[in-house]
Amino acid sequence: MNRYLTLAVCQTGPIQRGASRTETVSRLVHLLERAAKAGAELAVFPELALTTFFPRWALEGEREIDAFYERQMPGPETRPLYDAARRLKIGFAVGFAELGEEHGRQRRFNSMDLVNAEGVPIGRYRKMHIPGSDAAQAGVTTHLERRYFEPGDLGFPVFTFRGVRIGLSLCNDRRWPETYRMLCLNGAQVVLIGYNTPVVLEEAPALAHLRMFHNHLPMQAGAYQNTVLGGGRGQGRARGRASLDRRLVHHRPHRRDRSTGGVRRR
């Protein structure tokens, strides 16, 4: 039996450090409206889509750091995105910095939520493969995710959206074969990947022309080897640093049930 799910991969463009949550969410709503108008049923936004990519800075003050995190999803400032999904009858996956408290201590995760077409969250993923370091290093691109996030503790869950089994992953997860293998063992047919990756690395500027190839290679390999469809989306450019922003949709039919997917790219 054929099954069709129309995906939209939404490019946000640059989000500056001083952008308010209200401003950023309004931009996401605009993209969601465009996706719905184009006939999409499900949209994927980038990693950390509600803020600039703050792990490029070594922030010190807890109040300044906490401003980049969400204590609840949806919250008062992000509610308009969920309301738009219900109004437009379109689902979405969105990456964000999650701040919570468990067993008397703060927990910080790089997370992604899957939301259905009624604007109701139906699943959460917490990034497993945390790259970078916890302190800046001379001559190396500043990437401090380990300063701000701990590895995810939810495994690789899979959720059902309109009869299709959806898995989620974030950025560095896409480079590791176990991401796709675990998702497919859990029944995933589609993997949504939000990422936020610089084009040029300070330690290897001569390899900039290979970055897009490097970006696509693990996603295409993971999708092909595990018979799954993958859709990825990057954030763009912020404060002079270019990020990978080219869309990727790669599909291979599932060998066991011969199901197919329909994807429109606009």
Instruction: Give the whole-angstrom CA distance, residue 192 versus residue 229.
Output: 9
> Hunting for tokens 């899979």 — which residue is that?
158
Residue among 10, 41, 47, 70 flagged as catalytic: 47
Q: Is 89 annotated in the active site?
A: no
Instruction: Give the whole-angstrom CA distance, residue 51 versus residue 48.
Output: 6
Residue among 41, 70, 98, 171 flagged as catalytic: 171
Instruction: Give the whole-angstrom CA distance, residue 28 versus residue 187.
Output: 29
Q: Is 171 annotated in the active site?
A: yes
Three-state DSSP state, 179: helix
Instruction: Give the whole-angstrom CA distance, residue 148 versus residue 138.
Output: 19
Structure tokens at 113: 């939520």
Residue among 10, 70, 98, 127 flagged as catalytic: 127
Instruction: Enumerate residues 6+ apart whose C-beta is below 8 A from 252.
Output: 223, 224, 227, 228, 229
Q: Give me the phi and psi of 30, to 5 degrees please.
A: -60, -45
Q: Is 10 annotated in the active site?
A: no
Question: What distance lies between CA 140 and its chain's CA centroid?
Answer: 24
Give catalytic residue positions: 47, 127, 171
